[in-house]
Amino acid sequence: MKDAGRADWDDEVPISDHDRLDVVSGAGCWIVDGEQRRLFDAGSGHSCVNLGYANEALIEAAARSYRRLAYCSPEHRCRPVLDLSARLSQLLGGGYRLRYAATGGGANELAIEIARRFWLHHGRPGKRLILALDRGYHGSTGSASFASGPGVLQSPLVDRSPEVQHVAAARNPADGTARSLAALQDGLEARIAVAGPDRIAAVLVEPVAFAGGVIVPPAGFLEMLAGLCRRHAILLIVDEVITGFGRSGRWFAFQHAEGVRPDIVTMGKGITSAYFPLSAAAVSEPIHETFRTPGNAMSKVITMAGHPVGCDVALEVIAIMERDGLVERVARNAERHLSKLAALRDVPALRDVRGLGHMWGLEFTGPGDGAAAARAIAERCFAAGVLVLHADNVIRINPPLVATEGEIAFLVETLSAAVRAEAGVRRGAART
């Protein structure tokens, strides 16, 4: 019997040899597999190991916290939760209240529930619909999975909810079509008109749809969306689970937009650099005030939410990022190194190169041949010591924030060489 003696669930079909590694250790931006291959992790795990592996400061922060207080029931208060909430509100621009969960998807489920209950408390129980973009990814459980775009990092058999509707995103990598800001606004306005603003609770959106193909919306998108939500009395939920904590070159990616203050901001992954499961939904003060009215309390217990150890680790993450200027480093890396990937646009099989901060994507032509090209290039990178993410016809990279300029340059050079080498092989095959 294959894999006799194993007890883990393992029904996924690997796309290529390096999709199912036996990882034995990690340090800095590098992991080591069971065959002692040392690989630069250009995907930061699942977009979460922002400060790299084996970070002694984070390990020590967790150890100190465990010794002090290994757990605190969420209905009680403890210093790590209070301190982290204050810091996160400050980083968001002030005026937010924090509620915690354990995963990014859990934070988005929490945000959706808060939005629906908010309108219920305001005497508008019919406002339950959630609008999301068709290339968005918001998690794999419950209402978060309903909000994720059909097929984006999900089985096609995932359940769907009639209370979540999808609108076309800024780009469809499958066919290469892109939409202007005006087209995006027209699509949103049309969907709101059909659904009826009196039925819509919130719009849930990522500033950059990384999992959906590294889709960077046109300038002015979030400003347009925020204005549209205000006009129609719809809450704006911004999902910063992947894009938050410096990955865009700002603390939060929505901060690239002028004057936008979301009603709810969700976060996870980089909040602890993956050293502890923790996520949060930051809620504006006006929404929070609604729940302080007698009888309106959430009365929702998530056992591990706001875990004191996770909150202490998150505080250490923020301290390290500020001390080392990592947000500014990401912006510099994007300008000096990652932007050089744009020079690959002259490769015939490469349809587009796009990115922001440490999040970049290479989109190849066509769902069939383009997917084969992306897979072959990912394998070339793997052979050269770089682990990239690839799905369908898109290669995605989002290296750790602590990557040095030399490591980022190595990533760019390796990926560029792999793209041009594969293009040469394909040109040769076409001539024969």
d(CA 283, CA 280): 10
d(CA 110, CA 282): 10
Given a cut of 50, whether residue 154 has pLDDT beyond it is: yes
Q: Is residue 136 part of a domain?
A: yes
208/351 same-domain check: no
CATH of the domain at 378: 3.90.1150.10
Q: Is residue 8 part of a domain?
A: no
380/318 same-domain check: no
231/361 same-domain check: no
pLDDT at residue number 385:
97
Q: pLDDT band at residue 1, thresholds of 50, 70 and 90?
A: very low
Run of H or E including 431: helix 405-431
Q: Please write down the HEC assignment for all residues of 243-303.
A: CCCCCCCCCCHHHHCCCCCCCEEEECHHHCCCCCCCEEEEEEHHHHHHHHCCCCCCCCCCC
What proportion of the chain, given as a percentage, has pLDDT over 70? 95
d(CA 237, CA 240): 9
Q: Is residue 204 part of a domain?
A: yes
What are 278-327's pLDDT values in tens digits? 999 999 999 999 999 999 998 888 999 999 999 999 999 999 999 999 99
Scored b (16 or more CB within 10 A) or e, 237-268 reads: bbbbbbbbbbbbbbbbbbbbbeebbbbbbbbb
d(CA 243, CA 217): 13
Give the pairing type, strands 129-133 and 164-167. Answer: parallel
Which domain range does residue 84 map to?
57-324
What is the Rg, in whole angstroms, of the alpha carbon atoms belonging to the chain? 22
pTM of the model: 0.95
For residue 243, what are the CA distances in angstroms to 20, 33, 138, 338? 25, 28, 12, 16
pLDDT at residue number 278:
98
d(CA 133, CA 148): 8
d(CA 268, CA 287): 21
pLDDT at residue number 344:
95
173/313 same-domain check: yes
CATH of the domain at 249: 3.40.640.10
What are 231-268's pLDDT values in tens digits? 999 999 999 999 999 999 999 999 999 999 999 999 99
Given a cut of 80, whether residue 208 has pLDDT beyond it is: yes
Residue 21 near residue 10, CB atoms below 8 Å: no
What are 107-134's pLDDT values in tens digits? 999 999 999 999 999 999 999 999 999 9
38/85 same-domain check: no
Residue 162 near residue 143, CB atoms below 8 Å: no
pLDDT at residue number 431:
64
Q: For the beta carbon of residue 232, count every other beta carbon within 10 angstroms.
A: 16
Q: Which of 324, 352, 387 is the last residue of a domain?
A: 324
Given a cut of 80, whether residue 164 has pLDDT beyond it is: yes
d(CA 116, CA 36): 50
Instruction: Supply 120's token pair.
Output: 């219920």
d(CA 28, CA 402): 8
Q: For the beta carbon of residue 335, count every other beta carbon within 10 angstroms.
A: 12
What are 364-422's pLDDT values in tens digits? 996 678 999 999 999 999 999 999 999 999 999 999 999 999 999 999 999 999 999 99
Q: Is residue 199 part of a domain?
A: yes
300/388 same-domain check: no
178/138 same-domain check: yes
313/413 same-domain check: no
Q: Is residue 395 part of a domain?
A: yes
Q: Which of 260, 294, 324 is the last residue of a domain?
A: 324
Q: How many domains does the chain have?
A: 2
Given a cut of 60, whether residue 15 has pLDDT beyond it is: no
Given a cut of 60, whether residue 351 has pLDDT beyond it is: yes
Give CB contacts under 8 A, 24+ apart, made by 320-326.
320/51, 320/55, 320/57, 320/58, 321/51, 321/245, 321/246, 321/401, 324/402, 326/50, 326/51, 326/246, 326/401, 326/402
Residue 208 near residue 238, CB atoms below 8 Å: no
307/173 same-domain check: yes
Q: pLDDT band at residue 6, thresholds of 50, 70 and 90?
A: confident
Q: Is residue 50 part of a domain?
A: yes
Question: What's at 344, amino acid-wise?
Answer: L
Q: Is residue 338 part of a domain?
A: yes
Q: Which of 264, 296, 324 is the last residue of a domain?
A: 324
* DSSP letter string, 318-371: HHHHHHHTHHHHHHHHHHHTGGGGGGGGGSTTEEEEEEETTEEEEEESSSSHHH
Q: Is residue 49 part of a domain?
A: yes
330/319 same-domain check: no
pLDDT at residue number 9:
78
d(CA 372, CA 392): 8
316/386 same-domain check: no
280/363 same-domain check: no
- Mean pLDDT computed over every residue of the chain: 93
Burial class of residue 74 in the structure, from the number of CB atoms within 10 Å of its CB (0-12 exposed, 13-18 middle, 19+ buried): middle
